[in-house]
Amino acid sequence: MARAIIIVLDGVGVGHLPDAWEYGDNGACTAGHVIADNAPSLPNMRAIGFGSIPNTGLSESKNAIGVYGRAIETSKGKDTTTGHWEIAGLKLPVPFPTYPNGFPHEIIKAFERVIGMQVLGNYASSGTAILNDLGQEHVLTGKPIVYTSADSVFQIACHEGVHNINTLYDMCRVARALLVKQHQVGRVIARPFIGTSGSFQRTNNRRDFSLDPVGRTLLDEVSGAGMAMLAVGKIEDIFNMRGITESNHASGNNACIQATLDFLERDFSGMIFTNLVDFDMLYGHRNDSAGFAKALEAFDTQIPTILHRMRDDDLLIITADHGCDPTFPGTDHTREFVPILAQRKGMKKLINIGTRESFADIAATVSDHLGLPYRFGAQSFLRECFIA
């Protein structure tokens, strides 16, 4: 009863990609800078080979066991959807549209007509900054806040005491329906918040309204073969539930790890796909290097428990979807290599799988492990997992 577990450390990149200059990201190195600045204690990540990956900032362990490497993003872009889709085998030759100067007049006017009110904002900003700028005006006027970022996102922020959650979700559905053809952004995101001026806080009622994947993914292959495809955290949003047989939309790293452990207690053939969003959402985007380091330490303490819950025919892959360097100028994602760490029972040595040509090698490897035929135009490293 083969099982695979993919855990995505959201935003934990390991050094800028060769084409990072096209995105203004030369010099970004999320893990390397966070670890160099804060010296977190990460004994378990060292033990599974993280320190052997270039530019992690972590010293190598001579006693490490497992498979390690890094991967290049083939797809254009550096956003959550693009990264996760490529991990699942779907490469995008054309990036999703982005709006550094805000959305076109015709899009905003059409949105305002349907929802029956004007909006505030319509510019690129971090989520916390725009609440500081426009949160009180929103509370006084009821006008929703629309904003974007370097990602392909149309974000709508509303105070939960001004517009209830369902109203905000309905606004997002309106935007999703309007954003088509050349304006087909990767995600429309509901950003509810609470509090008063000077202390506004976003809540866990965030919801993403994503596109359906535009091609075949690992999730489709797993569920299509009659296996369980179990999603944890925002995976269900990123794939718009396609190919997913069950989801636990847990919020926060701790809850997502617990949901993963709970799924591991079950008898099933198939896959668990988990996103740990806190690295990116709480620390990377907020330039909080110290908080990022503490989140890495917290994850490190959970690694032995995850490994203990694994069965003999389980394969664990730990990776990331992009960078989000909290020490780098700005608050956006950074285009970086992502780490690959693989573990299974019975490993006795450390194997270097080098630099992979695509994140999709992860999909090829999981498909291989589960006995599925499709390789997504990528290369499996399953053989190396059985040498280690």
Mean pLDDT of the chain: 96
| b/e 153-182 (16+ beta carbons within 10 angstroms → b) | bbbbbbbeebbeeeebbebbebbbebbeee
Q: Cα-flanking dihedrals φ and ψ of residue 123, to 5°?
A: -150, 170
For the residues 365-380, what does the mean pLDDT come to? 97
For the residues 204-232, what does the mean pLDDT come to? 95
30 CA to centre of own chain: 14
Could you give the percent of the chain with pLDDT greater than 70? Answer: 100
Structure tokens belonging to residue 214: 């535009």
197 CA to centre of own chain: 30
Domain ranges of the chain: 3-92+214-387, 105-210
CATH of domain 3-92+214-387: 3.40.720.10
On the question of pLDDT at 87 being above 90, the answer is yes
* Cα(379)–Cα(377) distance, integer angstroms: 7
| Residue type present at position 226 | G
Q: Cα-flanking dihedrals φ and ψ of residue 378, to 5°?
A: -130, 180
On the question of pLDDT at 383 being above 90, the answer is yes
pLDDT score, position 151? 84
* Cβ proximity of 269 and 1 under 8 Å: yes
For the residues 18-47, what does the mean pLDDT come to? 97
Residue 75: which pLDDT band, with cuts at 50, 70 and 90? Answer: very high
* Cβ proximity of 333 and 344 under 8 Å: no
pLDDT score, position 262? 98
Query: Which carries the bigger pLDDT value, residue 279 or residue 127?
Result: 279
pLDDT score, position 150? 81
Residue 381: which pLDDT band, with cuts at 50, 70 and 90? Answer: very high
* Cβ proximity of 108 and 119 under 8 Å: yes
Residue 128: which pLDDT band, with cuts at 50, 70 and 90? Answer: confident
Give the CA count within 13 Å in the CB-facing half-sphere of 331: 16
pLDDT score, position 94? 86
* Cβ proximity of 320 and 338 under 8 Å: yes
Q: Which of 387, 277, 357 is nearest to 70 (CA)?
A: 357
* Cα(144)–Cα(149) distance, integer angstroms: 17
pLDDT score, position 367? 98
Residue 213: which pLDDT band, with cuts at 50, 70 and 90? Answer: very high
pLDDT 10s digits, 193-212: 999 998 999 998 988 998 99
pLDDT 10s digits, 237-274: 999 999 999 999 999 999 999 999 999 999 999 999 99
User: Would you identify the CATH topology of the domain 105-210?
Assistant: Alpha-Beta Plaits (3.30.70)
> What are the residues whose beta carbons fall under 8 Å from the beta carbon of 5, sequence distance 6 or more?
260, 264, 271, 272, 274, 306, 310, 314, 315, 316, 317
On the question of pLDDT at 127 being above 90, the answer is no
Give SS3 for 113: helix
On the question of pLDDT at 355 being above 90, the answer is yes
Q: Whole-angstrom distance between the N-terminal and C-terminal Cα of the chain? A: 21
